Chain A
């Protein structure tokens, strides 16, 4: 476990070891107003915002990024609007289209539907992290897409590429039918599914030869 501090009302009740207060406070005061705040709080965002310190260290594409994150903020929003990693797309913001897919510790997940505060200590890979930063070399999946001329409008492409990346890492011997299932959490409205599967099979082939 990483270093956490918890203060305020809750700390008095729970030991530091077993309890992580998600929203880390600096100094000694998480305002008790946070806990006493009651009722329909449409102004809550602003109220809490003013009293809570939210600095967080995230590992994104292999780098530690220090970022100020609201407790109610999703990873997709943090990536796009705080870290300027706009390759991750918001197609539905409801875990339904897959355009926001990233890898969390190598597992493909919808970044629109995870709180950034749930990712402390974990490693996030986005589409920007696949290319070799030094050589500009494409990942096997990206190379496969170049070879097969994948995608049309490609708003779905970053998400598909991330799912393919997880897929070939799990199983470079994937069959076309297995690839179909592995990619079934990503929607392509251009319905370029045939080419996408060609890319997936080419990526697996390249992964096997690496």
Chain B
């Protein structure tokens, strides 16, 4: 019997390269005659470039050329360009310089004199909503493709409410939806919890800055890129450069993290190709951590008001949610997702959402792991505990009561899910955590230390449908799986091939994964975002494997006699009534037969981008190639329940996370160790977001200061929980053949919520209702000292 591959731990095939120095990330590629490129970043949060004097720069030995904003596409409206003459945030690239060495690049940039006209700027979106508040753009603060720019403000009366600590009721919300009857919902409620809550904006800071190397050879672009996705990023780059995607050799073998900031690549990845085209030399654009802080994207911050009603039995009956979002200069969709996730997590049935996405002159925002959901779960979970406290109810029980079943539809359109095991995840986590006993420790004081128990529940998208799988069994008897997905470290490149290989009865050493280089063929793929890859590509590969299996059986029946469906596969052989053949023999036979067997004929429903990839492998063996036509209805969402125990030192405001338990609903578990790592890693990222990571702007000058790792403070190994455990509910999703959903996104919100709730618990139920929960804020609250800033101020501390 061939080995079992699904649900079994294994070392991913790229691991050895990663720990021997052989793995090449974008900045590790070299080319003959390679030169360097650096960016000149705007020193102001909003300004107009009136003039550039580069005469001294041009005299720097080694200087090659300059690229200005006029040489790159300048889209209309609030859309990012690679270079700009009207920077909208401090750190926005104005121009690029190429030189023979990095030293010369730096010296040349420093020698450039800029003539800048400062323009008004806004950092805190609430300030931008004030009647006479500044706008992020000279043209206004709202943009629509139809009507162009306009200006949207609240009234003095609205701000009187804000300043009094109440939820305002502004006219004409920018986004609004309702479901059910919110007034009836609140009328039904015994307890109403209302809070104003601030969630900070935090940078992604993946370990690998977004460097690019590129050169052109006979009209073909060779690009080495740091990106989460691969095939889709290649298409994006082709679009940005207006070249035929088949004229790009796109290489992204390893990517040092992205967390949403490099989904389809990123705006500035096309600068090195452009500069290379301009100067006719290979160009290395090594992005520094300092630049990454600016151009590397950030999670949008929220300033929100939430009102939640609860029946006497603890059931949430109404939510009235309002979010002002810091959208940065180029927009973000987090707030919309947040509203939907609030609905599905607490199932009020009656909900109103009002959203105010506001452009600001802060570095660009983008999806960050669990975008929207991670913020809102961390923000609202302490409110659930407040309700439990007022109703004298158990904190776990109120969550299980309010958690959805598959019957509940999310958001204004009541979108249904393929499977929902939220309650099961909560129960499983409670058991693993020993909740019944641990909750007894809540509030216990030992010296200056108080125990706090945290609970968090979070959900997020975990799949998508309709992509293609491509694989070939070659005459060496091995299965070659061609992946168009990126390799950002989640092990998806191999995890998504395991169910397919298992279907084909192969041992893992009979499988080769090919990824990261478009010259080896990349089928149409999803972007590596929204935790969709495990679901989407285990399906796509499964479809291709089914196609391969059908062809294997057909060949066996042809060769050996009998009926094709009487043949089964095992250990690299096909066996049936007429005897057996090795896959090597099958592959040879497929090549001899041609037609669909070796890819000369392709299925008619393949996505267009898959065809050239498949064509690269025509005649090399038995080809399995298919579109994921498994279908399915509804959204694909995974769930994570997280439990934690902290000890808060009430004299210093410091705390230590002693225990963390994750229980997840991801359908079938494909790769346990990797799943556990996603749960823990995401949870710790969420904890970092809640406790230490931050971004601070000087409001007078409009510049961000926490622009270094030590000031931005992502969590270190010392901040990780002392003991961790995880488990999965393990009930397959009924609408996907592999049963597997993704993970990755929901862990962040749950991790954040564990700390926001545990800290409130250790403080006797008091919710600070803002992040980050740094020692200064905690100790000030405990000592009854006033907050040094406005209740809803953003980017402070």
State if A and B touch, Cβ cutoff 8 Å: yes
Confirm or deny: B362 has a beta carbon within 8 angstroms of a beta carbon on chain A. Answer: no
Residues from chain B with a CB closer than 8 A to the CB of A130 are 20
In the complex, what distance in Å separates the CA atom of A192 from the CA atom of B12? Answer: 15
B224 to chain A, nearest CB (A): 12
Residues of A near B715 (CB, < 8 A) are: 191
Residue-by-residue, is A71-103 near B (CB-CB < 8 Å gives 1, otherwise 0)? 010000100100011111111111011010000
- Asked if A184 lies at the interface with its beta carbon under 8 angstroms from chain B, I say yes
Contact string against B for A residues 149-175, beta-carbon threshold 8 Å, 1 for contact and 0 otherwise? 111111111100100000000000000
Task: A150 to B717: give the CA distance in the assembly, Å.
Answer: 14
List B residues 684-712 near A (Cβ within 8 Å).
684-685, 688, 708-710
Residues of A close to B256: CB separation below 8 A: 89, 91, 153-156
Q: Are A87 and B21 in contact (CB under 8 A)?
A: yes
CB-CB contacts of B105-135 with A at 8 A, as 1s and 0s?
A: 0010011000000000000000000000000
Q: Which of B25, B104, B673 has a CB less than 8 Å from the CB of A45?
A: B104
B677 x A194 contact (CB < 8 A): yes
Q: Are B9 and A149 in contact (CB under 8 A)?
A: yes
- Pair B718/A180 contact, Cβ less than 8 Å: yes
For residue B488, CB closer than 8 A to chain A, the reply is: yes
Closest to A87 in B: B21
Closest to B679 in A: A194
Complex CA distance for A190 and B256, rounded to whole angstroms: 9
Docked Cα-Cα span, A51 to B103, in Å, equals 16
Q: Would you call A36 an interface residue if the criterion is a C-beta within 8 Å of the partner chain's C-beta atoms?
A: no
Distance of A195 Cα from B16 Cα, bound (Å): 16
Contact A145 B205 (CB under 8 A): no
Q: Check A43–B27 contact: CB distance below 8 A.
A: no
**In the complex, A77→B288 CA distance in Å?**
13
* B207 in contact with A188 (CB, 8 Å): yes
| Cα A183 to Cα B491 with chains together (Å) | 23
A43–B111 alpha-carbon span in the complex (Å): 9
Q: Which residues on the B side are within 8 Å of A131 (C-beta)?
A: 20
For chains A and B in complex, what number of residue pairs have CB atoms within 8 angstroms? 190
Residue A181 is within 8 A (CB to CB) of chain B in the complex = yes
Does B637 lie at the interface of the complex (its beta carbon under 8 Å from any beta carbon of A)? no
Interfacial chain A residues near B104, Cβ < 8 Å: 45-46
Bound-complex Cα distance A150 to B718 (A) = 18
Q: Is B257 positioned at the interface, with any CB of A under 8 Å from its CB?
A: yes
- A46 touches which of B61, B682, B716 (Cβ 8 Å): B61
Decide if A189 touches B107 in the complex (CB within 8 Å). no
B19 engages A153 (CB within 8 Å): no
Task: Flag whether B674 is at the interface (Cβ < 8 A).
Answer: yes
- Which single residue of chain B is at the shortest CB-CB distance from A144? B19
CB neighbours (8 Å) of A93 from chain B are: 288-289
A157–B714 contact, CB under 8 A?
Answer: no
A187 at interface, CB cutoff 8 A? yes
Complex: chain A residue closest to B289, CB-CB: A92
B206 proximal to A (CB < 8 A): yes
Judged by a CB distance under 8 angstroms, whether B592 is at the interface is no
B485 to A: closest C-beta gap in Å = 14
Q: Does A142 contact B (CB under 8 A)?
A: yes
- Size of the A side of the interface (Cβ < 8 Å), in residues, is 62
| Closest residue on chain A to residue B672 by CB atoms | A149
Residue A146 at the chain B interface, CB threshold 8 Å:
yes
B50 at the interface (CB under 8 A from A): no
B204 to nearest A CB, angstroms? 8
B window 138-154: CB within 8 A of A: none
Give min CB distance, B576 to chain A, whole Å: 37
| Residue among B28, B111, B207 with most chain A CB within 10 A | B207
Q: Does A127 interact with chain B (Cβ within 8 Å)?
A: yes
Residues of B within 8 A of A147 (CB): 11
Which chain B residues border A43 with CB–CB below 8 Å? 59-61, 107, 111
How long is the Cα–Cα vector from A188 to B695 in the complex, in angstroms? 19
Which residues in chain A, 7-57, are within 8 Å of chain B measured between CB atoms? Answer: 42-46, 49-50
Asked if B681 contacts A152 (CB within 8 A), the reply is yes
Query: Which of A49, A138, A154, A161 is the one whose CB lies under 8 Å from B489?
Result: A154
The smallest beta-carbon distance between A200 and chain B, in angstroms, is 10
A193 touches B717 (CB 8 A): yes
A128 within 8 A of partner (CB): yes
Q: Are A191 and B718 in contact (CB under 8 A)?
A: no
Q: Which of A99, A126, A150, A181 contacts B207 (CB 8 A)?
A: A99
Does B21 lie within 8 Å of A158, measured CB to CB?
Answer: yes
User: A58 near B: Cβ within 8 Å?
Assistant: no
Out of B19, B107, B676, name the residue touching A127 (CB < 8 Å): B19
**A69 interface residue (CB < 8 Å to B):** no
Q: Which residues of B contact A149 (CB under 8 A)?
A: 9-12, 15, 673-674
Whether the Cβ atoms of B709 and A46 lie closer than 8 Å is: no
Let me know if A186 is at the binding interface, CB within 8 A: yes
B277 at the interface (CB under 8 A from A): no
Q: Add 19 more A-B contacts to A93-B288, A149-B10 (CB < 8 A).
A: A43-B61, A46-B61, A90-B209, A91-B209, A93-B289, A127-B20, A138-B16, A146-B15, A149-B674, A151-B19, A151-B489, A154-B23, A154-B489, A155-B206, A184-B717, A187-B716, A191-B680, A191-B715, A192-B681
Interface residues of B (CB under 8 A from A): 9-12, 15-16, 18-25, 27-28, 30, 59-62, 101-104, 107, 110-111, 205-209, 254-257, 259, 286, 288-289, 488-491, 673-674, 676-677, 680-685, 688, 708-710, 714-718, 720, 724
Sorted from nearest, which 10 A-B pairs have the closest CB atoms? A87-B21, A155-B256, A153-B489, A191-B684, A152-B489, A46-B61, A154-B18, A86-B28, A155-B207, A127-B21
Chain A interface residues toward B at CB < 8 A: 42-46, 49-50, 70, 72, 77, 80, 84-94, 96-97, 99, 126-128, 130-131, 138, 142, 145-147, 149-158, 161, 180-181, 183-184, 186-197
List, sorted by A's number, 22 A–B pairs whose CB atoms are closer than 8 Å.
A46-B60, A70-B103, A77-B102, A80-B28, A84-B30, A96-B289, A126-B21, A127-B19, A138-B19, A145-B15, A149-B674, A152-B490, A153-B206, A153-B256, A154-B489, A189-B685, A193-B680, A193-B717, A193-B720, A194-B724, A195-B673, A196-B717
